[in-house]
Amino acid sequence: MSKHRYQRIARLYDFLDKPFEFKRYQPLRGTMFEGLSGNLLDAGVGTGRNIPFYPADADVTGIDLSPAMLKRAKKRHAEVGSDATLLEMDALDCSFDDATFDGIVSTFMFCVLDYHQQLPALKELGRILKPGAELRLLEYSYSADPKRRFIMRLWAPWVHFAYGARFDRNTHEYVEQAGLELVDSRFVLMDVIRMIVVRKPA
Ligand SMILES: C[S@@+](CC[C@H](N)C(=O)[O-])C[C@H]1O[C@@H](n2cnc3c(N)ncnc32)[C@H](O)[C@@H]1O
């Protein structure tokens, strides 16, 4: 389902998201990769908006389900002179060996995955993470502020239609069940965007 949706929206994705990208997301993207090095994965790389923030000395692989989104990521990859590897792959069924990555970053992919996919996706990314390494997520949640929450509820049908995303995936609640440790779960933009840091036990 996600694949078809993103095949459809890919050509408009960056345009539609532009105001949010500059105001909200861009300042957060760099912090997602802070202190990470070695073999890294960007899960759900999309049109490659994290690419300019990849650490220069890291070996980064970006995966995505949608070839149309990847096509745009490849264009951005060429523009910024990145040497990352971009692959079409399902984050729920990766072809990587166990314990391949020193770090995994995933921005706004789990809000697209269905509720029943949250746990299997965490387990799969946990499988390919090295013991002691971190998985870092950037995800939306509903604001507790009644006015902001009301506005988010008005937006929700469009966000789901266009992106398959929901604001209430509550990914952090599945972390322990997936055999991972919750290191940090904190709001990084108002009380609507959360950075979730998870570690695979050593
Ligand atoms: C909302 S976009 C976020 C893209 C990018 N990470 C960003 O921050 O702009 C979600 C992306 O996740 C991808 N995606 C959805 N389900 C996936 C899956 N099971 N495996 C890999 N990618 C997936 C979609 O194709 C889409 O490109």
Q: How many domains does the chain have?
A: 1
Q: Beta strand pairing status for 181-189 and 193-199?
A: antiparallel
* Ligand 1 in reach of 105 Cβ (< 6 A): no
Provide the pLDDT for residue 103: 98
Provide the pLDDT for residue 2: 81
Q: How many residues are listed for the chain in this entry?
A: 202
Q: Do residues 152 and 167 make contact, with C-beta atoms less than 8 angstroms apart? A: yes
* Ligand 1 in reach of 92 Cβ (< 6 A): yes
Domain around 115: 2-199
Residue 176 tokens read as 């322990």
pLDDT, one tens digit per residue, over 163-200 is 999 999 999 999 999 999 999 999 999 999 999 999 99
Provide the pLDDT for residue 22: 85
**What are the DSSP calls for 14-79, one per residue?**
HHHHHHHIIIIIHHHHHHHTTT--SEEEEET-TTTTTGGGS-TTSEEEEEES-HHHHHHHHHHHHH
Provide the pLDDT for residue 171: 96
Which residues of the chain, if any, have pLDDT below 50?
Answer: none
Provide the pLDDT for residue 23: 85
Provide the pLDDT for residue 1: 65
Candidate from 16, 94, 112 with most ligand 1 atoms within 8 A of CB, to mutate:
112
CATH number for 45: 3.40.50.150
